Amino acid sequence: MSNASSYPLRLPKSLKDAVAAVSKRDGTSINQFVAMAVAEKISALETAEFFSVRQQQADYEKFDALMNRSGGQAPIKGDVIGED
């Protein structure tokens, strides 16, 4: 990490021990494990926010009209799950 900064982190001993055990099993450092855990949490929160914003922009009337339109083509062999 060329643009890294440090942050003193205090963890309960039991949690630090668990992190040490998991990071050792994964073959990573505690620092790397904690950085990845923080990145995963931020990603999850940002993904939830993204879909929340998208949901607010949804036009359900247009969706229903699209799903209930006539025409189109019938599914062809292989389009149905479980169909060979």
Q: Tens of pLDDT along the chain (84 residues)?
A: 578 888 899 999 999 999 999 999 999 999 999 999 999 999 999 999 999 999 999 999 998 888 888 877 777 788 877 765
Name residue 44's amino acid. Answer: A
pLDDT of amino acid 43: 97
Name residue 22's amino acid. Answer: V
Helices (H) and strands (E) in the chain, counts: 3, 0
d(CA 10, CA 59) in angstroms, rounded, equals 46
Name residue 40's amino acid. Answer: E
Query: Which pTM does this prediction carry?
Result: 0.62
pLDDT of amino acid 83: 65
- Angle formed by the axes of helices 13-26 and 30-56, nearest 10°: 90
Look at residue 37 and give its three-state secondary structure. Answer: helix
What the block records as the tokens of 36 is 């990845």
